Amino acid sequence: MEKGSDPPPYPGPQVDPTNMPYHIQPAAYQPQPGPVASFYPPQPTVSASTPATVTQVVMLPSSLSDVPGPMKCPHCQQQIVTDTRYTNGLLTWAICGGLAILLIWPCCLIPFCVNACKDVEHRCPSCSSVVHVHKRM
């Protein structure tokens, strides 16, 4: 199908161009050359004599957070899932001090009871050494 210079027909009343206060020129649309987008990466060609190579992606955690995570212990060199223990850290003491400054004395001890305010120590379950400390602040 070839595109002409005439605009496509639209339903509705016909407009008489002689009653227009100004002259309307039709817009000339030209196709724009551009890059062709490919949504799929090119597939390597594999012949019968060449073995296919398989790429394996290994995702490592960027850092341990407040949940136990798998890793290799740097002390005993075993593949482990860490044990977590909560310890009082800078955020715990800062919230306690802030509540004390605001004279909310009964609430000063709440941060010491909430695990979300404490730092998290990751320990190796086999050698019990500290592997990582996740600090809240």
Q: What is the pLDDT of residues 19-77, one digit of tens each?
A: 656 666 666 666 666 665 555 566 666 556 656 666 655 444 447 888 999 999 999 99
Residue 28 inside a domain? The answer is no
User: Which tops the pLDDT comparison, 28 or 90?
Assistant: 90
Check: CB of residue 128 under 8 Å from CB of residue 134. no
Q: Which domain holds residue 100?
A: 67-137
Check: CB of residue 68 under 8 Å from CB of residue 85. no
Residue 55 inside a domain? The answer is no
Residue 36 inside a domain? The answer is no
Strands 119-123 and 130-134: antiparallel
| Number of domains, the chain | 1
Q: For residue 94, how many C-alpha atoms fall within 13 Å in the half-sphere facing its CB?
A: 8
The span from the CA of 9 to the CA of 17, in Å, is 15
Residue 128 inside a domain? The answer is yes
Residue 78 inside a domain? The answer is yes
Residue 46 inside a domain? The answer is no
Q: What predicted TM-score, i.e. pTM, was given to this entire model?
A: 0.52
Q: Given pLDDT bands bounded at 50, 70 and 90, which one contains residue 133?
A: very high
Residue 101 inside a domain? The answer is yes
Residue 83 inside a domain? The answer is yes
